[in-house]
Structure 1
């Protein structure tokens, strides 16, 4: 099977379609509404956890937007070998949040000042990004390893992992848990309202109404939350008018021990990027096997690495291909990479105005949760479709079941493998990595029988 594109596609605009400007703009805004808060939140979390100054945190947020815009532009335009050529949006990699907080907190305890902490964090991020660049060149030789079954499991685990984030926001977020308001009538009501509006618009026959469904849902939810007094504008004060990027603003202090930790996360992020790009290809009705697919993977991962190099130099946390926009593509039916150009330009422009980024952080968690829970579930469904497209023979069923069991098991209790050495525990405490690595290992160890390779992709137990 080399191409899973189907003729009964529900895409409004396919990959190479060029929508009218106003529809491109609407599509771009819809994507931005879905990803903007997750894009700027990591910098806010790191800034708050490390007690960085307001000016520094604001700078980190602005650079996240600018770097994301640059990365998205490279991905969608595909310059030579760089970029996937898909509607692949770059954003801050959540996997680095806990790592950066841990490294920064340790340095803070040792008495290091803010600038030196950021200097070290950005330096190891800058050097580590070249590991991703290098890994992109060996991807074509890994066809035996990264099969549709493996990629599908990674996409499925990405979706299932994100659902947890969505449902927590649906109930009010972590702040509501601390305040004792989690899951109260107000939070659940707003979340359900957004969910119903998004579903309602996506049931419409009009392509335009489908495109704006998520945006309208978020706007309706925000206005409702505003009327209920759920919107907090306290973080909008004392912001600079314009933020200018300064390469290596905090300096460059390299630490080999920190590099080993960050480098490990970078290598694991390659697997996640492969899953995200595969999901984007899937929902865009593009092949997920063959030379074209391998070329997109290589270009996408290469862009991932180069963008993280740029982001770290500017003062942003590392970036990766975002999974969230795959749900938006499915919900809106817009897979045109030309919409990605509009997204990239908007992100870069908004990055110079920190007040814009901070405004999006005022969107209450239940509003986001109502839309994200549905979108993240769509990502999981895309993973299931990829798995099924490769067939579910006895061998594939064993691989999927074991990987799903261990991946989900780790998400329920990450300490289950605490007995392992720290270097190995870092690999398996993440459900995406645990499921993906299990799939890779089993894919290599369980032999592919000749009669299975020639058989119908989906067969029953009796026929085997």
Structure 2
């Protein structure tokens, strides 16, 4: 057990026992499960592919498990070496639906649609793989200021999803009912109070206990819906290229552009992950993690297209789990990967998890997502922002929040551009980058150049998780809201 930092029960290189590792892994699974399967549900329902939905969901979970193992293990240059959960990206939904709709309009079958979507997935993955080779050369636009801005934007964008689930979920008949709100808030409060406990077991089990109490309450008062289990197959066998493969250069450009933004988003998520794991957020070790993580995303998306699912990316939800449970050990990442592969091969297990009531899930995820935003604010608040930095921060976060509150403001843009900018994280990142490059005044190109807001017995480097003086500084700006 790590004793170097009292905020972590187990750090990145620790080896927790089976029970705490499995408990933490299950909570990572609960935090990300809905995010992994939802893009598939949206794409298949929008394109009339519902007969293929169960198998495609199983493949999404299977590939998420394989991808998480690759990111955690770091195989050669591929992977970040962090507990970086992989999942199906929301950023590609509109582009994939657009491409599939054109195939259907030209008379293509469901198999034709899926063959093209998986072909575009694999081709776009190559764009991200190539992009990863140039990460170390982007230091002019990857600065400490953009790090704090985009970590904050990631958290804010996720809060929207968590609050929607807490109220009952998208298009729920009882959305915003008093019962939903009370259940969600009850789960949230249980997690908060257990996380504040001094007992390590209560802390690392807080999410699981809170969700279990909420689910049991709803089961006793309203009952849980398991009707969908009867239609699920017992076993789903991963079959490469089950629907064939196809490609259309005219439909490829929007997908390729989104892959570039997805790579930038991954840099942001991995920066937040490093921050919460008390790992360097600058210097050669950090840059190696970012480069390997983006390369891992590309390789995993290549596998996704091969195994009949949609583009993968690194999830940000799980950074909040690390901070709440205090477990950053890579061993947990391997347990998460194994759980994903298992439920991907046995669809009925995933069906049971899908039955978790939305208010219960929202109560748990809301606090986790908020912790991600707090991490970004903590990074910004640890330093005295000068006039220039304050302007950049205000504009970037203002546009991000504006996009979340008034998405229809982008309705007149081309659909591919609207799809990209609808992500508050992308909007914040692009705004911050453009202003960093064009706004007059001195830029802070190294965290060590930024002045702390006040004297403290805690070194500034400890606050931001640094271990060495930065020679190269990197940060993040992100491309999607989940």
Normalising by the smaller structure, the TM-score range is over 0.9
Structure 1 unmatched runs, 5+ = 1-5
Contact 2:95/2:419 (8 A) holds in 1: no
Secondary structure of 1:287's partner? Answer: coil
Within 5 A, what are the aligned runs for 1:362-401?
362-389=355-382, 391-401=384-394
8 Å contact 2:83–2:328 — kept in the other structure? yes
The alignment's C-alpha RMSD in Å is 2.1
Report the Cα offset of residue 234 of structure 1: 2.1
1:457 and 2:454 matched? no
* TM-score, scaled to structure 2: 0.89
1:237-248 to 2 correspondence within 5 Å?
Answer: 237-248=230-241
* 1:347 pairs with 2:344: no
SS in 2 for 1:240: coil
Deviations 1:108-131 (A, max 9, x none): 344321111111111001100111
Deviates more, 1:383-392 or 1:224-233: 383-392
Query: Does the residue aligned with 1:320 lie in a helix, a strand or coil?
Result: strand
Counterpart in the other structure of 2:244: 251
The structure 2 residue matched to 1:95, chosen from 79, 91, 101, is 91
- Offset, 1:257: 1.9
Aligned to 2:475: none
Native 8 Å contact 1:139 1:298 kept in 2: yes
Say which SS state the counterpart of residue 341 (structure 1) adopts: helix
CA contact (8 A) 1:427 1:433 kept: yes
2:47 aligned residue (46, 50, 54): 50
* Contiguous gaps of at least 5 residues in structure 2: 455-482
**In the alignment, is residue 155 of structure 1 matched against residue 148 of structure 2?**
no
- Determine the structure 2 residue equivalent to 1:272: 265
- 1:445–1:169 Cα change, 3 Å: same
Contact residue 151 and residue 274 of structure 1 kept, 8 A: no
Separation in structure 2 between the aligned mates of residue 37 and residue 450 of structure 1, nearest angstrom: 40
1:306 aligns with 2:299: yes
Residue 114 of structure 1: aligned partner: 110
CA separation of 1:409/1:236 partners in 2, compared to 1, >3 Å: closer, same or farther? same
Give a deviation string over 1:416-436, Cα, whole Å, max 9, x none. Answer: 244545554444232111110
1:196 alignment partner, one of 189, 205, 216 = 189
Question: In the TM superposition, what whole-angstrom CA distance separates every residue of 1:34-81 from its partner, at most 9, and x where no partner exists?
Answer: 111222222222222323243x21111111111111111111111221
Contact 1:152 1:275 in 2 (8 A): no
- What displacement does 1:230 show? 5.1
- Establish whether residue 33 from structure 1 lines up as the match of residue 30 from structure 2: yes
Instruction: Give the counterpart of 1:437 among 422, 430, 440.
Output: 430
Q: Distance in 2 between matches of 1:202 and 1:422?
A: 43
Partner of 2:164: 168
Q: 1:132 and 1:24, CA in 2 relative to 1: closer, same or farther beyond 3 A?
A: same
Deviates more, 1:266-275 or 1:225-234: 225-234
Report how far residue 151 of structure 1 moved: 2.4
Q: CA deviation at 1:103?
A: 2.8
Between 1:431-440 and 1:226-235, the stretch displaced more is: 226-235
Q: Distance in 1 between matches of 2:178 and 2:76?
A: 53
Matched residue, 1:82: 78
Given the superposition, is the C-alpha separation of residues 414 and 456 from structure 1 closer, same or farther in structure 2, using an over 3 Å criterion?
Answer: closer
Once the two structures are superposed, residues 114-173 of structure 1 have per-residue CA deviations (whole angstroms, 9 ceiling, x without a partner) of 111111111001100111111111000112211122122222111111111111111111
- Is it true that 1:141 corresponds to 2:131 in the alignment? no
Under a length normalisation based on structure 1, what TM-score does the superposition of the two structures give?
0.92
